[in-house]
Amino acid sequence: MSTPHISIVIVNYNVKEYVASLLISIGNASAGLDTEIFVVDNASTDGSQEFLTSRFPDLRFIRNDVNVGFAKANNQAIRLASGTYTLIINPDTLIQENTLTTLFEHMRAHPNTAAAGCKLLNPDGSFAPESKRSIPTPLSALYKVLGFSSKYYVTSLGEDEAGPVPVLSGAFMFCRTDVLQQVDGFDERFFMYGEDIDLCYRIALAGYGIDYVPSTSIIHYKGESTKKDNLDYVILFNKAMYQFFEKHYSARYTFWIKLFVRAGIVLRGVGSYLLTVLKRLAWPLTDLALLNSLLTLLFMARYGIDVSDMPDAYQPGFILLHALASLLFLALAKYNDLHGAKKRSIAALLKTTGLTFAILAFITFFLREYAFSRWILLLGFLSSSVTLGALRLATSFRRGAPTDGPSVTRLRILLIGVGPQTAHLIQNLRSKVDLNADLVGVLIQKESPWTDTFEDVPIIGRPEHAPDLIRFHRIDQILFSGSAIPTGDMLALMSQIRDPLVTVKLVPESMDFIIGKSNVEYLDDIALVDLDIPYRRPWNRFIKRNLDIAIALVFLLVTAVPGLLAMLRAHGKGALLRRVRLYAEETHPTRIQLFEPYAEYRWTNRFMLLGYILTGKLSMVGAPLVADRHPMPVYYKPGLTGLRQLNESRLKTEVERENHERFYVQNHSVWMDLGLMLQALWQRRIHDQGL
């Protein structure tokens, strides 16, 4: 049996999708090379073994019953490696088609080089400085603590300049197998972090060189933002730094120097952790500050408290109400995920503020000594909803801001590459109801025949036009079709873009998920499970009906005079009334009368539609207003707007439209209705096509 050219070692811990994507890119980069691939699994609980071995049967899969750490897991495969070279690579990476051959040829041409690395790119296409690092001495560690990170990395070499370096990133280390085994692989005392520095240090002590080879690059989907606010990460990382110092430097320094280094490492870890925690608390702290400021202003206005009288005139009962409001708001925000994935969701905000002030009103009803004006609570709800909502709207307009739930702004996606699976990808994106995004356009490769559209999505250029098109169309997210565009072209394009406000994601070849930075999204079809649908619950129907009446009355009162005058003018012109049949719940049609031609009397008809809402024939949010609409599998009352109507422009098939209607009735709540109405008002989309 011939000796493999390269043994590839991947350690997996609950990231099977990233491993699958990496294995596809390795397969594309292995032409002309004989490889063996080890996947060492550290007790994953996500079904990694079945998922990976069924798709990649040639894997040498090693499963551990417990998480033994990065160093020990790598060593398990290193001891079995039979290739001339061994590539140690992180699972959350993606390599170019020329990566393996470039490093293979470099090592053959430099016999004294024992390890080599390539250029690492961040998910936004920017250069990752850890591609080439210095050995962390006490002095460089001090610079790192003080914020001078440039002293920690090798700055004498440009990012595109090849040359020797002291340390490579453990995310990608192309090593001579015999040397790797000679130095006994990684030091297993390092559970995670620091083991790559230690290995490079020992390779250099053994008299071998370490090279940085930037003529090829990989993308590293590292999740630094999600790691550093985790206390376990802080402890492990800083413990590893001290372990390295203790192992290689402690004999050279006095007790006081060692104490100083330990203190510096601890201070850096604590500072890093506190900084990321403060960033995570930015939204809740801002919300609480605005909420309590508005309550203070309302108390001052209601009881005539002058600014000069503060704080003596501010009653202790007011302070208690502040504390109670803050606790309720934080608890409900946690329950509604307002400061997590839904931090910009208007529906989640309305739910949180509404319940906060409703519970406050209920509590103060029984505690008479704290039963302040109900008007303060009502105005507090309205002012906080408007103010906190405006804050979310303002941040939603920033490019790159995520959109969650029925937000007033949409994610703008650019799809790059047209291949065998692209049509299926577009259909899945349209069917993904909670995506809240617009597919702005598709970029096709030079060899593809030019057409105006692909699956009804406009073709707006070639991949090389991406940097200009991103700015022109204010793109928030780029989606690469892995089956259509070579990885090398993709990474080259990312290097040109380098826009931190643009999220870059990939759909791996023949896979049904999207991967990005610390994120995997499955493109599943939406199935209707007809069990206890929220829309049909009596309480939800009662709340929905009363909300319809309240909002319709407000609009009718505001538009009463112009609306009545418009109707009189329509009658004066001899406009004809047309009976319209709209299918409502349980296939029973609703019959209403409207002026025709509809477009000529659009606003007059909308005034009449408000009247039909009061009589219960229509709803503010519901099914599309389409004359003689065929019965759907999901029956619910027609409405002036709705989830399907707001997404109509990007829905191309009946299946996609039905999915949106099913999603609405399955997830219906009064807060969803309020969010959809706000979105409709903001986008000025009152959909009544077909009438």
What are 76-111's pLDDT values in tens digits?
999 999 999 999 999 999 999 999 999 999 999 999
pLDDT for residue 572 is more than 60: yes
Q: What is the mean pLDDT of residues 50-77?
A: 92
For residues 627 and 318, give the distance between their C-alpha atoms in angstroms, rounded to a whole number: 55
For residues 597 and 578, give the distance between their C-alpha atoms in angstroms, rounded to a whole number: 9
The overall average pLDDT reported for the chain is 80
Ranges of CATH 3.40.50.720 domains, the chain? 411-429+436-522
Q: What is the mean pLDDT of residues 229-238?
A: 57
For residues 160 and 475, give the distance between their C-alpha atoms in angstroms, rounded to a whole number: 28
Which residues neighbour 470 within 8 Å (Cβ) at sequence distance 6 or greater?
414, 478, 497, 499, 502
Confidence of residue 405 (pLDDT cuts 50, 70, 90): very low
pLDDT for residue 224 is more than 50: no
Burial of 294 (0-12, 13-18, 19+ CB in 10 A): buried
Q: What is the mean pLDDT of residues 410-431?
A: 83
Ranges of CATH 3.90.550.10 domains, the chain? 6-222
Q: What is the mean pLDDT of residues 395-422?
A: 69
pLDDT at position 242 is 61
Alpha-carbon distance values, 641 to 242, 582, 621 (Å):
60, 14, 5
Nearest to 632 by CA among 477, 509, 484, 528: 528
Nearest to 76 by CA among 236, 188, 242: 188
CATH class of 6-222: alpha beta
pLDDT at position 56 is 93
Q: What is the per-residue pLDDT across 617-666, written as a single tens digit (0 to 9) for each?
A: 899 998 887 755 555 555 688 888 888 888 887 787 777 888 888 888 88
More confident residue, 579 or 583: 579
Q: Pull the structure tokens for residue 342.
A: 């839904």
Dihedral sign, CA of 619, 620, 626, 629?
A: negative
Outline where DSSP puts E strands in 315-454: 411-416, 437-443, 453-454
Asked if residues 667 and 534 have their Cβ atoms less than 8 Å apart, the reply is: yes
Q: Which residues of 26-59 are buried (b: 16+ CB within 10 A; e: fewer)?
A: bebbbeeeebbbbbbbbebeeebbeebeeebeeb
Q: What is the per-residue pLDDT across 321-359, written as a single tens digit (0 to 9) for each?
A: 889 999 999 999 998 888 887 777 777 888 899 899 888
Residue 205's region, left for phi above 0, alpha for psi from -120 to 50, else beta, is alpha
Most confident of 114-123, 154-163, 313-322: 114-123
- List the CATH code of the domain at 411-429+436-522: 3.40.50.720
How far does Cα 489 stand from its chain's mean position? 24
How many CB atoms are located within 10 Å of the residue 537 CB? 13
- Among 22-31, 55-64, 258-267, 301-310, the range scoring the smallest mean pLDDT is 258-267
Question: Residue 407 gets which letter from DSSP?
Answer: -
pLDDT for residue 536 is more than 60: yes
Burial of 494 (0-12, 13-18, 19+ CB in 10 A): buried
Which residue has tokens 């250099």? Answer: 204
pLDDT for residue 568 is more than 60: yes
Confidence of residue 58 (pLDDT cuts 50, 70, 90): very high
More confident residue, 597 or 37: 37
pLDDT for residue 500 is more than 90: no
For residues 151 and 142, give the distance between their C-alpha atoms in angstroms, rounded to a whole number: 9
Confidence of residue 369 (pLDDT cuts 50, 70, 90): low
pLDDT at position 579 is 64
